Structure formats: structure tokens, C-alpha cells
Structure 1
Amino acid sequence: MSQLDLRTPASRDGAAPPAPPVQGTFDELGTPLRSTTFVVVDLETTGGSPAAGSRITEIGAVKVCGGQRLGEFQTLVDPGCPVPPFVAVLTGITDAMLLGAPTIEAVLPAFLEWAGPDAVFVAHNAPFDMGFLQHACRETGVPWPGRRVVDTARLARQLVTRDETPNCKLSSLAAFFGATTTPNHRALADAQATVDVLHGLLERLGGIGVHSVEELVTYSARVTPQQRRKRHLADRMPTAPGVYVFRDAQGRALYVGTSRNLRARVRTYFTASEPRRRMREMVALATSVDAIVCATPLEAEVRELRLIAELRPRYNRRSKHPERQVWLKLTDEAFPRLSLVRQVRDDGGAYIGPWSSSQSAEQAMAAVHEAFRLRQCTPRLSLRVRTSACALAGMGRCGAPCDGSETREDYAVHADAVRQAFTADVRPAVELLEARICALAAQERFEDAAAARDRLAALLRGASRVQRLRALTSVPQLLAARARDDGGWELAAVRHGRLVGAAAVPPGVHPRPHADALVATAEQVEPGPGPLPCAGAEEVERVLAWLETPGTRLVELEGTWASPAFGAGGPRRRLDAATEADVVPFADRRPLLTSSRPAAGWERVG
């Protein structure tokens, strides 16, 4: 159980204290290569792609452990179709040879049982062989065991130079490593040659510090020796969900990340390929890694967001500056106007957003100005002092409340329509903007139509986001549970959109006492102003994503969790789907909102 106290020792007193000694478990040491059973497999097929109708004609495999061959498996397979002549010439397998051979339905279960439950599959050009085996499993209804897979071709491309062998074909590598069997496009012989190639590659990997299966399957030659020498920093990481913090010699946070398995994830920074240049820079500067174990993966995600915002790590890019997000605000004054702001205040204004860029917020503002006759001037207007009207009044895009042409009551109609679009009913804005887009398309002004579509999309994204967030942040308290694969439960307590507690219930234990204790000890919150009273937008969205995952159950709900029936969510999803499918949204004359929705009121979502 956790109350989410996110202050690490470094954040409390500015320096990271030395970590206490931790006795690691055998599970955290990785699987040694010397005690790992490898099943080296090779297939012969009727063609190059199972999706195109090619089928397996022969399976050959060799089981090895600690350099010793434990057994062999070989069988022809009736593919149920003729063998193409060029394949028969290449492999020597003819239709006559396959008469009376077992089908894949009989061979596949026997092969998987012979391979054993813990073996690591090895193949030369593994995507080809594993692709055929997985396709056969899907066709026959046999569950694919999901084993680790080692590709000797990929390893050879990183470990063997062109000076040593001109290419990484199996025949070339077998000759280079002195294989006792010559590959001849028959499954068992090729598998036997691959065994010798595997042992030659493992010998080279052992010289550079790769001694476990986990390091083998993630190995990349792009990892520098300096990075690999720091892999001891992952030795004391637990195999549990949580957050990790890389720190430099002064104890300053360099990077914050999260994982369901801290040890496995941190180890990849020192043993696997990292395409991001800044991450390689970060690893070069790192001298320690702190681990914060969390009760559930959701708690780890939330801790990561809060720590990034608190510590501002140099090498994190996302989530580091939540205060830079932009909101679109309808002001609360005699003649309301739109304004872009970075802070939500308790001043009676209506807000939508936030957006990560000012450009998107400006597009949404332009969309509102197109749909409604709001004034676009910035000064606060007085009911007594009159000023001259601007050009927008002459163009019919503003009622000119500044010179008294529009009364406060008449102007309030426009402001109320905008407020409704922000909070409840976006249909009037969508209909007006959609008509504008269609008119531009009919005039073949396609670039202008696309620009108008982008403005509508920005408005819908901002409005739908705040409506979705507000639906959860208005709930005083919510308790939810999700069943884990091992039979236990994950619990989450949420107050006004903020994760205030998380717990993991072991298998076989009744979750009710844990749920009661979690609610009783959860963080107390005091709601602030605006649509995000207790947590940032990213945290609320992470919580929402967890709550909306199939299998999550609402245990307790105080208040109502609901979204507006005619909100922006539906039109946004439809517009996004049309854009993803390369369909021109303004060419679709159907209304964006279906007529099957309720005529009024609110739609319950939880």
C-alpha cells in the first residue's frame, strides 16, 4: 500500500545518500548462458511468406545446453500443396518425398513439447522461421509459447567484420567458425551448422561481458564499452514496477523513467541499442541509479510524472514543464472575450484545453471567432464609455459592443453560446464550421478548407480534452480495482482526478480489507480552482486510461462520473478517424453527431 509520498532523499536534502547494501535474489541475477537450454531450429518451406500461402515442408532442430548437444528433432511435413519446382531444386524436397508425411497439426504440438517450456529459440534469420511457426500456431489453434528468440544473423552482423567474412549467410559463417556440418538447405543440417555458429558468437560475446540471456537478446554493438562497463549500476535494481532516477556525481537527477520491471529496463541502457543520442550522453554522465518501487504500474506512471515536474531532469523532454501548457479562456466581464493563458484562476472564466503549443490554442481561438460573433479586441469595455468600432464590425463579424451598437444583453447570447460549446453542447459550432469547410471545398479552395478543418480539429481537441478531464475531476472520491494475471488485484483511490493511493492485493487474499485500508490512509486533498483542481492534465489522463482499460471495476463512486451527451468527444473521434483514413472530412456530408444520441441531458460513462 502506498500514499504516494514522492519526495526522494535527494529531493528532500539535495544530495543522494549512499544506497544501503541489498541482498539480490537469484531472479535478479539473470539467466546464465552456461545453464540455458537453446533450441536451434531451421525450417524448409514452399515459399517465402506464410501470408502468401507458403507452408512448412521440414522442421529440423538441435537442443543444446552448456556446449553439449542434448537431442535432435527432424521430420518432413506435408504442406497440403505442391512444392514449387525451384524450391524442390534448392532443397531436394519433392512432392514424392512428402507423401505420407505428417501434417503440421500433428507435428507442431510434438515439436513444442520436445523443445520444452524454458528453452530459448535460436534461428539464423529468426523472423523467417519464427514467422512460419507462429502462423502455423494460429492456423492450428496451438498457443504460441512466447519464448525468447536469438537471431544468429543479427548477432553476426554486429560481431563479425567484413574482413573476416564477406557476408553473414549461414554458409559463410559456418565456414568461418569451422562448423562440423555444412549447410545444404535441409532443416537438420542447417540447424546443426547454426549450433556451431551460435557457439562461436557466444564465445565472442563472453569476452565483452555478455553472460546472461537477458543481455544476449538485447545485445547491440552500438553500445559503447564505456556504457557496458556501467551495467553494474543495474545490479541492485529490483524486479518490480516502479520509477528509476539516473543521477550524476553531484546527485543531480539526469533522467527519470518508469518500468514494470526496474532491473530489466535499467539494464537495457547498458546492454541494448539506444537510438537517442541524448540517452547515450546521459549514461556517460550517470554514476548511480535510484529505484522507487511502486505497488502498481499506475502508481509508477504517476510518480514518474510528478518527479519529472519536481526535479526537472536535464535529459527528460516530455512532462517537464506542465506550467507551459496553454489554455483558451472565455473571460468573465461585461463583454467577455477570448484569451490565451497559462494559468487557470478562480475568476469565473470558462476554460478549454490545455494544449502543449500556442499554435494549436490560437487555431482553436480562430475557430471560435469564426463560429460566434465575439469581439476580438483586447481592452476591457465599459458600459458607460463608448469607443469607435473596428473593421470587424463592418465585415459583420462583430456586433460592435464598443460603440453601443450591441447591448450587453444581446452580446451575452454570443458569450453563452461559446460557454455552452466549451462545457456541454458543441453542435452549433460544429455545424457552422462544417458548413464553412464545405463551402470552401465547393469553391475548390482546398488549402483554405484544410486550414479551416485544422482549426475545427484544434477546437474539438481542446474542448473534448477538458470535458473528459472535468468528468473525472468533479468526482470527490473513486475506488477502482483491476484483476492481475496472477490472481491478485490492483487497487487505486482517486480524489478529484488525483491518484491518492495505490495497493496490490496478493493472490488468494480478499481485497475488501485492503480497499478499506487504502481509502482510510489515502492522501487528503483540497480542490483548487478550474477543471484540474488537484492534479495536472497528464496525471488525470493516465488515471483515466487505467480506469477505461477493459477489466477495471468501479468499487466505490462518490458523486457522478459523466460526460456531456453533446460534447466534443464524438465529433473529435469522427474527425480524427476521417483524417487517419485519408478521407477529406469536409467531403462527408453526414452530420458529425449521430441522431441516435439522447436529445438532452448527460450521458453516463461510469
Structure 2
Amino acid sequence: MIARATAAARQLLQTAKPPSAQLTFDVGSSATDVGHLREIVRANAANKPGVYRMRNTHGELLYVGKSKHIRTRLLSYFRLPWPEHRHARMLRETSVIEWDYISNEFGALLREVRLIRSYLPRYNIRSARPLDKWWVISIGEGPAPRLRVQRASVAAASRNARGSVIGPFANRRVLVEALRVLNDALGLRDCTERVRLILRDAGDLFDERYHPALVRKPGCHRYETRRCLGPCVSGCSSSEYQVQLSRARAVLEGRDNSPQQLLMDEMSAASAALSYERAGWLRDRLAALQSLEAQLMRVREALSKPTCTYAVPGAAGDHWLYLIKDGRVAGEASLHDPGAIARLEALEQSPSTSVAISPHADQLDELLMIEQWFRTRPGEHAFTSPTVRQALAHFHQSVLPAE
């Protein structure tokens, strides 16, 4: 079934492309007649909803935008003051304008998000982006990776970064404090990538560079206070570190609460010994982990929402089905394409990955877009159904008879 679902996903990507139009002109030329270009746009672009793109002479994608009225939006660029307005300056760099007509606003917004994710256009990056308001915990790869807090937009833009991300979260302060406690509890490092790692592996016992008799200074006090395994001073092997990292993943996925339980036991022991100052310190550390768990529960809830099919009526009878799975759009199909609908049903049966860890940071924007769409438009929930077949039945009973 997994192979079948993968093939279905590939075919859906090929069939779901909307019709495109392209207009080529040399805006950067000093001889360009902007008024004439405006008339060309007016004559070629229709006032329909969709997504537009601007490219320079080298084919670089400069900007992606969406509009309910493509022609009106494109014409508005020619009225901007130059060189004061940055979009007017962008227009001077543009040599190709492309647009896709998309019959519904949800589909246009989805395509805009995915194009920005894929190409990171210069003029979109400079503008305010939703991911700038959110934070993630990133888990790197390698023999001794660390947990760190990053802006979601930075994690999404790190094309060469490997590993996983957890999130998104709204409160950075809670994350930083909770990670400090979690790192201390599990002995994970929190130093920068510039710190040289000297891991102890089986063969290293015979290497004089790693001999226990040698004195090496740790990079910080955490190893000396037994809060870090010490991968910088051969204090652990790669496998020993990975065991603790796996425990951290389990905590973040809600499968292990042993760090919280340990803090509770230590706090009870400190209170029994009348060590109230230490008990208060342990209480604050426990509260940090509990705050993190509360945020993680919200993330897991968003990712584990049941699979549903969103049936969206479109202009001129161009209706679409969107399969929402694990907080993202897993596939889409036109109501008038039986083959695409069959592939959507196959994709519906593929296993879910409903955990707090998202494998791709740059997909967080899609999750946030979908969450905001339904939060700001609660009436749209009426167009969702548990399965593709039920969505089709709803369409045939409610929407199509009214046309």
C-alpha cells in the first residue's frame, strides 16, 4: 500500500498543475514604455483568481504572489512610485511574468506557499513571513548532535541542514529554559558547532590521544558537574550519546516522562531533608519541562488531527478535493478527473506519521497556513468529510444540484 500511495502522490503532482500563462518583456530596458507594457498586461491577463510569478532575465524567481483578481493586481505594480517602492524596483528587474489561474482561494494560497518554499524568492524573503513569528527545536545529525531553538523561517531556509525539527512553538523563552533542563537531565551538550568533539569509541582505548591518563579541559563546567556526557573530552562514545539523544526524542514525542519523574523525586527528597532552597530550584526546573510538554501537546494535536477531505467549490464549476493528512495537504484532485480521485483515495490509505517531530522544517508554513485558514473561516469545516467518498457524496448532494 505504501508503494501504491507513493505512485499516487507522484501522479497527483503531475495532474494537479493549473493552466499557466506567460508574458515576456524587458522591463529593465531604459527604452521600455511602461504604459505600453501596462496595456499588454491588461490585454493578456484575465481578472480571475490565481498565483503570479516574476522572473529576471536569468530565470531567477524574484517574487510570488496571489490574488483574487490577477489582472488588477499586476496592473497595480505599474502605478507604484519608482525608485521609492521596493516592488517598483523589483519590476525594473523583471523580464518574465507568469501566472496560473486557480479557481479557489485555498488552492491559490497553497500554491503560493509551496512556490515560496521551493524557490525562496528574494523579494518574498525580504517581506514579513509567517514563519518568522514561530520557533522550532531542531535536532541535528552526526555523532553527537545537539538540541537548539531556531526561528522556523531560519530552519526552513537551511536547505543543506539535515536532521529533524519539532514544532512550531510560539514562546521562545519557555523552549530555551526547558531545553536547558532536558540537556542537564540527559547529559546532552549545548555547546556550539565550533567546539571540537573527541568521542570515545571501542578502538580509542588503544589510542594514546584518548588515554584516560591524559588531562583534557572540558569546554564548560557542565561536564565537571555531571550535567553533560562530555563528548568534547572523550567522556562518552557515540553510541552512548545516541542513547541519550533517543531518550530526548522520546520525551519530545510524549513517550517518556522520566526526566519529570526524576525531578519530582529529587524535589520530594529535598523537601524531606528540609532543603527548601534546592526544592524550589527543582520545582522551577520541573515547571519548565511541564510548560514544554503543554506546548508539545498542542503541536501533537495539530499533527494528529484525523485525515479529512476538504471539498472546495470553484468558479465556473471547477471544484477541487484536497486530502489533508498530518496537518498538510497530501494530495489534490479535480472533481471532474476520476483518475485523480482514484489516486487520492489510494493516498488516503497510506500510513500516517502523526508525531511531534516533523521531518521537514520547510513544511511548517503549510501546516500553519491550513491551521489559520480553518481558524479564521470556521464555516469551512462544513465542507470537510472524513473520507474522499463522503466528500464526493456531499458535493453531489449539496453543491452540484444548486448549479
Which TM-score band applies after superposition, normalised by the shorter structure? 0.5 to 0.7
Corresponding position: 1:382 with 2:201: yes
Partner residue of 2:331 out of 470, 486, 500: 500
State the partner residue of 1:328. Answer: 138
Corresponding residue pairs, total:
303
Q: Does the 8 A contact of 1:247 with 1:289 survive in 2?
A: yes
Q: Is the 8 A contact 1:299 1:502 kept in 2?
A: no
SS in 1 for 2:53: strand
SS class of match (2:369): helix
Q: Distance in 2 between matches of 1:543 and 1:311?
A: 20
* Pairwise CA distance, 1:338: 1.9
Q: Structure 2 CA distance, aligned partners of 1:393 and 1:300?
A: 52
- In the other structure, the counterpart of 2:225 is 395
2 CA distance for matches of 1:535 and 1:309?
6
CA distance 1:273–1:469, change in 2 (3 Å): farther
Asked if 1:231 corresponds to 2:38, the answer is yes
CA distance in 2, matches of 1:285, 1:470: 40
Q: Would you say the 8 A contact 1:482–1:490 is kept in 2?
A: yes
Preserved contact between residue 51 and residue 99 of structure 2 (Cα < 8 Å): yes
Residue by residue, what CA displacement relative to the aligned partner does 1:501-537 show, whole Å, maximum 9, x if unpaired? Answer: 154xxxxxxxxx6596653255987999972479722
Which of the residues 16, 35, 39 maps onto 1:4?
Answer: 16
Please list every run of 5 or more consecutive structure 1 residues that lacks an aligned counterpart in the other structure.
10-15, 20-224, 433-442, 444-451, 504-512, 559-606
Matches within 5 A, 1:173-192: none
How far did 1:266 drift? 2.0
Structure 1 or 2: larger helix share? 2
Aligned counterpart, 2:253: 423
In 2, Cα distance between the equivalents of 1:468 and 1:537? 14
Separation of aligned partners in 2, 1:231 and 1:399:
65
Which whole-Å deviations, capped at 9, do the CAs of 1:274-321 have from their partners, x for residues lacking one? 99732110223445532201132122122223333445544332699x
Cα deviation for residue 258 of structure 1 reads 0.7
1:538 maps onto 2:365 in alignment: yes
Task: Confirm or deny: 8 A CA contact 1:528 1:534 kept in the other structure.
Answer: no
Kindly indicate whether the alpha-carbon contact (under 8 Å) linking 2:82 and 2:89 is maintained by their aligned counterparts in 1: no
Letter in 1 for 2:63: Y
Distance 2:115 2:178 in 1: 36
C-alpha separation between the residues in 1 aligned to 2:174 and 2:360?
Answer: 26
Within the alignment, does 1:368 sit opposite 2:198 as a pair?
no
- Give the Cα–Cα distance (whole angstroms) in 2 for the partners of residues 528 and 6 of structure 1: 27
Counterpart residue type for residue 520 of structure 1: A
2:198 & 2:233 partners in 1: Cα distance? Answer: 13
Cα offset, 1:242, TM superposition: 0.8
> 1:554: Cα distance to partner?
3.1
Relative to structure 1, the CA distance from residue 381 to residue 541 in structure 2 (aligned partners, 3 Å threshold; closer, same or farther) is farther
Structure number with larger C-alpha Rg:
1
Q: TM-score, normalised by structure 1?
A: 0.37
Distance change in 2, residues 1:425/1:338 (3 Å): same
CA drift at 1:243: 0.5
Matched, 1:254 2:65: no
Whole-angstrom CA distance in 1 between matches of 2:294 and 2:45: 40
Partner of 1:471: 304
**1:352 and 2:160 correspond:** no
Distance 2:126 2:301 in 1: 21
Does the 8 Å contact 2:323/2:330 carry over to 1?
Answer: yes
Alpha-carbon offset, residue 260 of structure 1: 2.0
Residue 519 of structure 1 pairs with residue 344 of structure 2: no
Whether contact under 8 Å (1:6, 1:306) holds in the other structure is: no
Shift of 1:471: 2.8
The residue type paired with residue 541 of structure 1 is L
Verify the 8 A CA contact 1:500 1:522 in the aligned structure 2. yes
CA distance in structure 2 between the partners assigned to 1:396 and 1:499 by the alignment: 45
Partners of 1:255 and 1:316 within 8 A in 2? yes
Q: Report the CA distance between 1:5 and its aligned residue.
A: 2.8
Question: Aligned-pair RMSD on alpha carbons?
Answer: 5.9
For 1:239, the aligned partner's letter is: N
Aligned to 1:573: none
AA in 2 matched with 1:481? A
Contact in 2 for aligned 1:328/1:354 (Cα 8 Å): no
Displacement of 1:416 in angstroms is 6.1
- CA spacing shift, 1:285–1:261, aligned 2, 3 Å: same
Query: Measured at CA, do residues 262 and 412 of structure 1 come closer, stay the same or move farther in structure 2, by a change above 3 Å?
Result: closer
* CA gap 1:542/1:296 in 2 versus in 1, 3 angstroms: same
Name the CA shift for 1:286/1:467 in 2 (closer, same or farther; >3 Å).
same
Shift of 1:331: 6.1
Q: What percent identity do the matched residue pairs reach?
A: 21
- Matched residues in 1 for 2:234 and 2:23: separation? 68
Structure 1 letter corresponding to 2:54: F
Distance 1:229 1:411, change over 3 A: closer
2:152 counterpart residue number: none
Contact between 1:231 and 1:271, CA under 8 Å: does it hold in 2? no
SS in 2 for 1:231: helix
Separation in 2 of the partners of 1:399 and 1:247? Answer: 51
The correspondence of residues 188-337 of structure 1 with structure 2, limited to 5 A, is 230-235=37-42, 236-248=44-56, 253-271=61-79, 277-317=85-125, 328-329=138-139
Pair 1:273–1:464, CA change in 2 (3 A): farther
What is the CA–CA distance in structure 2 between the aligned matches of 1:285 and 1:494, rounded to whole Å?
37
Change (3 A) 1:238 1:260: same
| Residue aligned with 2:365, SS | helix
3-state SS of 1:232 partner = helix
Give the residue type in structure 1 aligned to 2:111.
R
| Mapped partners of 2:56, 2:235: distance in 1 | 65
1:555 aligns with 2:368: no
Higher relative contact order (CA 8 A, sep 6+): 2
1:414-493 paired onto structure 2 within 5 Å:
415=245, 418-424=248-254, 463=296, 467=300, 470-471=303-304, 478-481=308-311, 491-493=321-323
CA distance in structure 1 between the aligned counterparts of 2:316 and 2:137, rounded to whole angstroms: 43
